[in-house]
Structure 1
Amino acid sequence: MTHHKTTHFGFKQVATEDKVKLVRGVFDSVAEKYDIMNDLMSLGIHRIWKRIAVQLCNVRSGEKVLDLAGGTGDLTTLLEKRAGKDGLCVLADINSEMLRTGRNRLIDRGLTGNIEYAQVNAECLPFEDNTFDCVIIGFGLRNVTDKDAALRSMHQVLKPGGRGLVLEFSHPTDPVTEKVYDFYSFSLLPKIGKFVAKDEDSYRYLAESIRMHPKQAELKTMMENAGFERCEFFNMTQGIVAVHRGYKI
């Protein structure tokens, strides 16, 4: 009897090689409505979370930035201003539908000069070592099958002195927030997904994937194991979201 490697897709166990296809299905399905759903999922607060994460990136004029799982381009829009015309932002996503949506959106905003696009898998980034001053993955790490490989790959493509950041839904730091958040994620969110994006299952998966994501301290340890130094995390909205930051020395 052969044993296939399995991993979690939300709360379900699936064959490791199937997860990429399943995640792709979720994001193909929600690409067009993704921003509206983000507003509903976070009551609009995701815009503030993203701004804070961008501040923590400390991007300066002329730097090279990789926005991994950059999807619809929110972080790239904020980061390219800081990198300036002498800098470069690479908007990268594994999903072609999300990348297309993001690219169209940025072109509509008139942002073309210092942005490039790449369809990549975060676990094995196709860039040379020591390329970027900053790599950020926003609301994407929890969808990656091998998170450790993705963190190692992020570390590899950073220049010495570069910053790696993970912005992700995390684990509430107090029981009241946790109860409210659970009710919202598992009872209300899939219903909103059904109503707005005609897609209850994809939003149930998103809620489950958040629950399966490592807690703050565990993710910090994972970053240290991947080679990052001076790792720290910042909780926002009672730990519903956290930004982790580490440096390549």
Structure 2
Amino acid sequence: MRLRHLSPALCATALAAVAALVTGGASASAVPTDGSLPPGRGFHAVIRPVDDATRASMMGVSWKPGCPVPIEDLRVIEMTHRGFDGADHVGHLMVHEDIARDTVNAFRQLYLRDFPIRRMELIETYGGSDDASMEADNTSAFNCRAITGGTRYSVHSYGKAIDINTVENPYVKGSLVLPASGAEFTDRTDVRPGMLVDGDRAVTSFTSRGFDWGGHWTSLKDYQHMEIPQP
């Protein structure tokens, strides 16, 4: 596009379109941070580097020396999501810069399908506790921690895994259900709002972009979990 041949007004429109593409096709304008958007406002998302205040809140909580990804490689996505109340809300998700655009596009598809998200808050809100975040039914991504029941780094430690509606989509291994309040959602044939179920377009919104879904695993089921596998 040769902007020099356009009027100033058209140049501004064209530049805004380019900026939207940079954020994965979402609106490039900042969304409000008061927690809600007017109904019908539509999906908006902004991808930003980690700011100084957020970085400070991460130290010793979700990030520690030795973590496999530097904070400089992480991005905070501020985006609209549909709530269980049917209204639009603003959430925050921290992911690796490599998957930020695909993450925005996947969540846009959830929004367009009226798939509800209970809450979307950075893990620092819960002191870095995965258990507390799950019990709150929080959708989150980056957290430098070990895998559940193990010692190696979780893919969350790379910012390349996302847990969605953790109560409606629990982690299940034998008799262990996490969070415990997710036990009423272990029957995946009883489909209710916010559940990720096999074959549903909410799942394919992620898997079509290269994510693996924990609901497809065989040794256990992690219905909340989407990840980009690490080499």
TM range (shorter): under 0.3
Q: Which has the higher contact order (CA 8 A, sep 6+)?
A: 1
Normalised to the residue count of structure 2, the TM-score between the two structures is 0.27
Considering fraction of residues, name the structure with more helix: 1
Considering fraction of residues, name the structure with more strand: 1
Normalised to the residue count of structure 1, the TM-score between the two structures is 0.26
